[in-house]
Amino acid sequence: MEDTLMGSHYDVVVVGAGFAGLYAVHKMRDELGLDVQAFEAAGGVGGTWWWNRYPGARCDFESIHYSYSFSEEIQREWEWSERFAGQPEILAYLEWVADKLDVRRAFRFNTRVTSTTWDDKAARWIICTDDGATCTARFVVSCVGGLSVAKEPEFPGSETFRGELYRTSSWPHEPVDLTGKRVAVIGTGSTGIQVIQEIANEAAELTVFQRTPNFAAPLGNEPVDLAQRRWNAEHHAELRAGSRQHMIGVPYDPPSGPALAATPDERRRIFDKYWDRGGFRLLVSTFSDVIFNQQANETIAEYIRERIRERVKDPATAALLCPTDHPYASKRPPFETGYYEAYNLPHVHLVDVRSAPIEAITPTGVRTSSKSYEFDVIILATGFDVFTRPLLNLGLRGRDGLKLEDRWANGPTSYLGVQIAGFPNLFVINGPKSAVALYNVPLATEDNVNFVAAALARAIADKTATFEATYEAEEAWGRLCEGILNLTVIPHSKGSWYMGENIPGKARAAYFFAGGAPLYRAICAEIVHVGYGGFALDRVSAPIPPMVRLDPAAALLLGSMLARGMKPLDELNLDEVRAVAESLRELQLPGPAMRVEIVEEPRARIYIPDRAGPLPVIVFYHGGGWISGSLDLADAPCRRLADENGAIVVSAHYRLAPEHSFPAATDDTFAALSWVWKHVSAYGGDPGRIVVMGESAGANLAAVAAIRARDAGIPLAGQVLIYPPIDPEASTASRTEFADGPFFTRAIGEKMWGAYLGGAELTELAAPSRASSLAGLAPALVLTLELDMSRDEAEDYAGALASAGVPVRLHRFDGLFHGVFNMSAFIPRVREMYASIGEFVATCKEQITEAA
Ligand code: NA7
């Protein structure tokens, strides 16, 4: 067989026969019709589930979810006998799938890929295997998995041990009898916990060496009766509906708002509910802030500690089992079934190797810095060299002999986890910086394989020789991954594989994308939609799409909107648009308390900070595309503006389109300004220091009001235009580039302009750039956003003002999208917008005013 392979040339080489490899072979061979050769180091299919045969190994997403979704037939035919299947059943499932798809014949088993070298001239990969064979392929698809190479233990002496030594990740195929034996388990991660609870009743003595206690929560496993198994298989579609719209790819309940907003009793009720239901629900269905806020996280951490203390009889043991040095879920959460009760058995002992580290494995057992222990069996459950090592082991050399280990000297880089710049035509399923670590593996896998298959199909159809991520796209993706991770509690873990910290000397970095499945999928879809943005096809690169350039907090917010099933704005009817605009209030930081006066004619709210006057005055117009928004929407921002600027803020109502189309809104807003000029001194405001300000459509109205004020002789100290739409007919690059968002789209912008104008002729009263002269207008601050379709027209307007001699400050904020001013609670950088406004308002000088 070796000889037949020598010198063979394939379209695709797939490496690995786990969930990813089986599906990749099927997809590339059977759907794309490609010539595929696959390699697998193990003796059969199954990947992780072939190797990890240790007692107690099982999945911790329900099996109905932890299974393929691409085939109706597979889902309908296979029945799961337990809620969370054990390793033998998962392996049997994968073997059954492999047979059903007839993919085994594409694999060469017991064969390791040892080197993978790019031949630039031929635009092919040369693949060598440990049996001395060589072949070439146009594409390599790595399906080697993230957790497939065991970590080398830091302590010496394994080879000297005279008893039986097992690693969980390469457990023997024959049954291991532990009865009557003194057994040690080193490691209390997901694996160690599964082993310990399983063998506690079998071993004569079980000693657990624990360095870091873990927050284990109940798995909630149970057998599924025969009738229910069939029902589940037949109803897979409804059971799995919407999975991919959920953050981790399983349709669990959404969280009940922030933990910090709940009372202790409410928190307890919610934690109890999801603790009892089992699995990842405790993390994803309880509270929205536990993963982001340390204080919120402490509420769940303490809840788990309480439950541990209830279950473990000996208080000293319970104390040792309670984690205190890292937030919950900053390490991958493990799940258990009777784990804590195992420590109530007289023959189960817990040894703290944080205070007295393991120094060596000796011929007779384990030696720590304080004591030696004797064992018949030692089980190492010490984890994996995650994500990077499995790929490094492929011996990858890319363009110009670039070694992957050099490329990754400071930590892994990739674009979407799918490609690595410098390694053309190499595709990785669930690679470093993919979403898989927090996304139900089979679905994450299918998504990646589908993405890669579409890329291959495109390359083949276009006769593209090379398909590769650009270095720039990789950098942008890396920044997004790191930025998102930094918004979570995950970087506060110590020693987690999430950050590469479980391996001494390994670079600490963001090893995965933590933005959740809906956002990851939306980004992948956008990349395809714009023609593989961020990839270079035959070295011609397509620009990095907007969603990859998002500010991390803005990206996360967008992700949570997607997870809540928010429809694109342009698909909403008028009432729905208005409801969405009002719902933005939930995304605002609350405004400080202060005196608020209500004026009925013209309708306005006057926010009066407790300062000695006369105070500068801000006349504020809310956004909402002239068709939505309200004084309520502007309430929190106006309070904050009043407080931060020591200014009277008048939030002015105006009539909305389409019921009241042009010029109702501009007439109302100008009438409000005129009223303020005449009456604001009665409220402690200085009519000589009026700044007109608006957000979005409100900024358009503010710009027009500034022109009308000049023409009417009302002296203004300044105008602040927060991402204003200027002209419906503007033809700019940003209109095209951000036509599909993020968030705000060209289609909804056009609808809004249409409703506002109501067919009226376009004049300077709607499009301020059309004024016959901009000279003599109040000094302006124009705030624009990088990822906003109105960006360029706003910046052009700033340019036109400056050309007309108006003092102008222009401040563009990168990574943000239209509407963020109302999202201050979730996008911390909105504070930079307030700071910019503050600096500007402080410089607005007294104007001579007749009213004063
Ligand atoms: P983990 O979660 O990395 O756990 C490894 C465990 O081994 C963990 O408790 C480690 O303690 C312990 N360990 C590692 N090295 C040592 C040394 N030198 N001394 C003592 N203890 C040590 O791996 P798992 O296999 O349990 O889980 C991996 C993933 O598989 C899991 O996240 C799921 O996705 C499935 P430490 O915490 O480093 O102090």
In DSSP notation, 481-530 reads HHHHHHTSSGGG-SS-GGGTTTSTTPPP---S--S-HHHHHHHHHHHHHT
Of the pLDDT bands very low, low, confident and very high (cuts 50, 70, 90), residue 2 is: very low
Cβ atoms of residues 757 and 661 within 8 Å: yes
Distance (Å) from CA 219 to ligand 1 centroid: 19
pLDDT digits (tens, 9 = 90+) for 602-636: 999 999 999 998 999 999 999 999 999 999 999 99
CA of 495 to the centre of ligand 1 (A): 9
What per-residue confidence (pLDDT) applies to 803? 98
Helix (H) or strand (E) holding 736: helix 733-737
Candidates 821, 779, 592, 624; CA nearest to 690 is 779
**Over the range 19-31, which residues count as b (16 or more CB within 10 Å of their CB) and which as e?**
bbbbbbbbbbbee
Measuring from atom 32 of ligand 1, which residue has the nearest CA?
332
| The pLDDT of residue 94 is above 90 | yes
In this predicted structure, the answer to whether residue 850 has a pLDDT above a threshold of 70 is no
Distance 771 CA to ligand 1 centre (A): 68
What ligand 1 atom has the least distance to the C-alpha of 188?
9
Measured in Å, residue 214 CA sits from the centre of ligand 1 at 10
* Residue of the CA atom closest to atom 20 of ligand 1: 211
Q: How many CA atoms lie within 13 A of 12 on its CB side?
A: 31
pLDDT at 449 over 70: yes
Six token digits for residue 233: 């298989």
Instruction: Supply 151's token pair.
Output: 């970590």
Secondary-structure breakdown of the chain: helix, strand, coil percentages, each rounded to the nearest 5: 40, 15, 45
Q: Which two tokens stand for residue 734?
A: 């940003």
Is there a contact between 118 and 93 (Cβ–Cβ < 8 Å)?
no
Distance 383 CA to ligand 1 centre (A): 4
Phi-psi label, residue 784: left if phi above 0, alpha if psi -120 to 50, beta otherwise: beta
DSSP for 541-594, please give it: EPPPPGGGGS-HHHHHHHHHHHHTTPPPGGGS-HHHHHHHHHHGGGGSPPPPP-
Atom of ligand 1 nearest to the CA of 187: 7
Locate tokens 């624990």: which residue?
210
Q: Is the CB of 351 under 6 A from ligand 1?
A: no
Q: Tally the C-alpha atoms within 13 A of residue 338's C-alpha that lie toward its C-beta.
A: 12
Q: Looking at ligand 1, which residue's alpha carbon is closest to its atom 33?
A: 190
Report how far Cα 621 is from the mean position of its chain's Cα atoms. Answer: 34
Q: Which atom of ligand 1 is nearest to the CA of 169?
A: 25
Residue 193 CA, closest ligand 1 atom number: 26
Instruction: List the one residue out of 9, 123, 29, 34 whose CA is nearest residue 468.
Output: 123
Instruction: Kindly report the protein residue whose alpha carbon is nearest to atom 3 of ligand 1.
Output: 383
* Rounded Cα–Cα distance for residues 658 and 385 (Å): 60
Structure tokens, 741 = 């968002």
* Cβ–ligand 1 contact at 467 (below 6 Å): no
Question: Which residue lies with its CA nearest to atom 23 of ligand 1?
Answer: 383
Q: 192 CB under 6 A from ligand 1?
A: yes
List the Cα angle 532/537/539 in 5-degree steps. 130
Residue 189 CA, ligand 1 centroid: distance in Å: 4
Distance 65 CA to ligand 1 centre (A): 25
User: Distance (Å, rounded) from C-alpha 189 to C-alpha 357?
Assistant: 17
Tell me the CA distances in angstroms from 128 to 7, 20, 283, 596, 646, one per residue in order: 10, 21, 43, 75, 71
Q: Residue 371's pLDDT is what?
A: 97
Rg (CA), the chain: 31
Cα atoms in the Cβ-side hemisphere of radius 13 Å centred on 610 = 4
CA of 188 to the centre of ligand 1 (A): 6
CB distance 129 to 4 below 8 Å? no
First-to-last C-alpha distance (Å) of the chain: 97
Instruction: List the one residue out of 12, 41, 16, 17 whose CA is nearest residue 142.
Output: 16
Q: Which two tokens stand for residue 3?
A: 């000889």
Using left for φ > 0, alpha for ψ between -120 and 50, and beta otherwise, residue 830 falls in: alpha
Distance 408 CA to ligand 1 centre (A): 23
Report the percent of the chain where pLDDT is more than 90: 97
| Spacing, Cα 168 to ligand 1 middle (Å) | 11
pLDDT attached to residue 96: 98
Please report the atom of ligand 1 found closest to the CA of residue 186: 21
Ligand 1 pocket check for 212: Cβ under 6 Å: yes
Is ligand 1 within 6 A of the CB of residue 58?
Answer: no
What pLDDT does 3 receive? 47
Rounded to whole angstroms, the Cα distance separating 659 from 192 reads: 66
- Does the CB atom of residue 323 touch ligand 1 within 6 A? no
Q: In whole angstroms, what is the distance from residue 202 CA to residue 178 CA?
A: 6
Question: Using CA atoms, how far apart are residues 270 and 541, in angstroms rounded to an integer?
Answer: 49
- Reported as a single tens digit per residue, the pLDDT across 181-197 is 999 999 999 999 999 99
d(CA 103, CA 484): 38
Q: How far is 515 from 436, CA to CA, in rounded Å?
A: 11
CA of 316 to the centre of ligand 1 (A): 23
Q: pTM to 2 decimals?
A: 0.96
Question: Measured in whole angstroms, how far is the alpha carbon of residue 191 from the centre of its chain?
Answer: 26
Report the chain's mean pLDDT, rounded to a whole number. Answer: 97
Measured CA to CA, the distance from residue 127 to residue 133 in angstroms comes to: 8
pLDDT at 494: 85
Mean pLDDT along residues 697-723:
98
Asked if residues 303 and 309 have their Cβ atoms less than 8 Å apart, the reply is no
Name the 3-class secondary structure at 752. Answer: helix
Atom of ligand 1 minimally distant from the CA of 191 = 26
The predicted structure's pLDDT at residue 5: 62
| Shortest-distance Cα residue to atom 4 of ligand 1 | 189
Ligand 1 pocket, 379 CB below 6 A? no
227 contact partners, CB below 8 Å, separation of at least 6: none
Nearest to 513 by CA among 387, 385, 328: 387
Q: What is the mean pLDDT of residues 255-260?
A: 94
Task: Report CA(493)–ligand 1 centroid distance (Å).
Answer: 13
Quote the CA–CA distance of 379 and 198 in Å, as a whole number: 13
Residues 6+ apart with CB under 8 A from 434: 414, 416, 417, 418, 428, 444, 448, 512, 513, 520
Bridging pattern class, strands 8-15 and 685-695: unpaired
Ligand 1 centroid from CA 414, angstroms: 25
Gap between the Cα atoms of 193 and 78, Å rounded: 28
Stretch 153-179: mean pLDDT: 96
Which stretch of DSSP H or E encloses residue 621?
strand 615-621
Q: Which pLDDT score, from 0 to 100, does residue 851 have?
A: 54
Q: Which atom of ligand 1 is nearest to the CA of 383?
A: 23
Inform me whether the pLDDT recorded for 1 exceeds 50: no
Q: Is the CB of 187 under 6 A from ligand 1?
A: yes
In this structure, which amino acid lies at residue 667? Answer: D
| CB-CB contact of 841 with 616 (8 Å) | yes
Measured in Å, residue 380 CA sits from the centre of ligand 1 at 9
Ligand 1 centroid vs 371 CA: distance in angstroms? 22
Q: Ligand 1 pocket: which of 166, 194, 436, 502 to mutate (most atoms <8 Å of CB)?
A: 502
**Quick check: CB of 190 below 6 Å from ligand 1?**
yes
Residue among 299, 313, 233, 217 nearest 266 (CA) = 299
Query: What distance in angstroms lies between residue 405's CA and the mean position of ligand 1's atoms?
Result: 24
Nearest residue (by CA) to ligand 1, atom 26, is: 189
C-beta neighbour count of 725 within 10 angstroms: 29
